[in-house]
Amino acid sequence: MLLWHWVAQVLPLLLLQLLLDLTELPSAAAWLKFNSYTALSKKRTDLRKKCPKVRAIRNFDLELMMGNWHVVQYYASTEELPEYACMRSNFAFSSEDQHITMNFSYIYAEDPLREKLQGNITWLIPDFGTPGHWMHTEDIYEGIYNTYVLDTDYQNWGLIMHCAEKKKHPRYLSALLLSRQPTLGDNVITFLREKLPRYDIDLSFMFAINQTSCEHLMESSKDDPLAYIVNGQQRVADNIKLINKP
Ligand SMILES: *[C@@H]1O[C@H](CO)[C@@H](O)[C@H](O)[C@H]1NC(C)=O
Ligand SMILES: *[C@@H]1O[C@H](CO)[C@@H](O)[C@H](O)[C@H]1NC(C)=O
Ligand SMILES: *[C@@H]1O[C@H](CO)[C@@H](O)[C@H](O)[C@H]1NC(C)=O
């Protein structure tokens, strides 16, 4: 995913850099442990060059899939730690420009402020004969970027997958397990997860996303992830202060 992916990749790096300037503070190391990729490192066997061939869901009804979803499980080939909570998506189809827009929001699970970060992604449907296959409209991401609805019953659960190929890098692959309600039965979760290993997804990196107490999150001063980064230094300092409080 574009913004999401970008935020997930750039934000930790930026904060890490800020922290390197702050390492005299004894609390910096503790904060780093929560948030960096260095805390827990497991060898990945799920990195591939090419995106898998995917057959999107058949007889797909786009309109029924739209609306609000909770992301109850999340996988990304770039992420090794379960960092997020309160991840939500809202899908909308505009008949005007025939685009699908997904608004998403989430928090960092360890953020004591529980500040809601938001973004959106827009796709087009290259072939209305297969409406479960979407392509990125934004051109910022080099390479091919496809999204597939793998399965959904529209009323309770859904599973979508994104894949992007990049020159000289492993492909970027992510999967979202969606639920209309904050929780989803274990049997459905198992049923949906089992659809992923055939696309070289290592399920040990697919994490449950905590959906508890997500109703009163702190609104970002601006709904733009960039603004969050610009204010990053301030936030890091605040986080350290808060974590340090007895
Ligand atoms: C997406 O988010 C924007 C800004 O928060 C909001 O104005 C818009 O109505 C949302 N769209 C949908 C489909 O939820
Ligand atoms: C998507 O995000 C951009 C920038 O973050 C914003 O300008 C735009 O209004 C958003 N669109 C929707 C539909 O939320
Ligand atoms: C989920 O989040 C809630 C609220 O922050 C927290 O109390 C709970 O311990 C979390 N559950 C797990 C399994 O991490």
Element (H, E) at 243: helix 232-244
Which residue has its alpha carbon closest to ligand 2 atom 11? 120
Closest CA to 235 of 110, 118, 119, 78: 110
Q: What does the alpha-carbon distance between residue 191 and residue 85 come to, in Å, rounded to a whole number?
A: 22
Q: What does the alpha-carbon distance between residue 30 and residue 240 come to, in Å, rounded to a whole number?
A: 9
Tallying the residues shown for the chain, one arrives at 246
| Contact predicate 156/182, CB 8 Å | no
Q: What does the alpha-carbon distance between residue 73 and residue 179 come to, in Å, rounded to a whole number?
A: 9
| Domains in the chain: boundaries | 62-208, 216-246
| Contact predicate 196/70, CB 8 Å | no
What CATH number does domain 62-208 carry, 1.10.10.60, 1.10.540.10, 2.40.128.20, 3.20.10.10?
2.40.128.20
pLDDT of residue 72: 97
Least distant ligand from the CA of 207:
3
Which residue has its alpha carbon closest to ligand 2 atom 12? 120
Q: Classify residue 13 as exposed, middle or buried by CB count within 10 Å of its CB (0-12, 13-18, 19+).
A: exposed
Least distant ligand from the CA of 122:
2
Cα-to-centroid distance, 185 and ligand 2 (Å):
33
Least distant ligand from the CA of 104:
1
pLDDT of residue 108: 92
Radius of gyration of the chain (CA): 18
Residue to substitute in 93, 100, 120 for testing ligand 2 pocket (most ligand atoms within 8 angstroms of CB) = 120
Cα-to-centroid distance, 35 and ligand 3 (Å):
17
Residue to substitute in 34, 70, 84, 210 for testing ligand 3 pocket (most ligand atoms within 8 angstroms of CB) = 210
Which residue has its alpha carbon closest to ligand 1 atom 3? 103
Which residue has its alpha carbon closest to ligand 1 atom 1? 103
Cα-to-centroid distance, 154 and ligand 1 (Å):
21
pLDDT in tens, the chain (246 residues): 444 554 455 445 444 444 443 433 334 333 333 344 444 455 666 666 788 889 889 899 999 999 999 999 999 888 777 789 999 999 999 999 999 999 999 999 999 999 999 888 889 999 999 999 999 886 655 566 889 999 999 999 999 999 888 777 778 888 999 999 999 999 999 999 999 999 989 999 999 999 999 988 888 755 544 433 333 333 333 333 333 333
Cα-to-chain-centroid distance, residue 147: 13
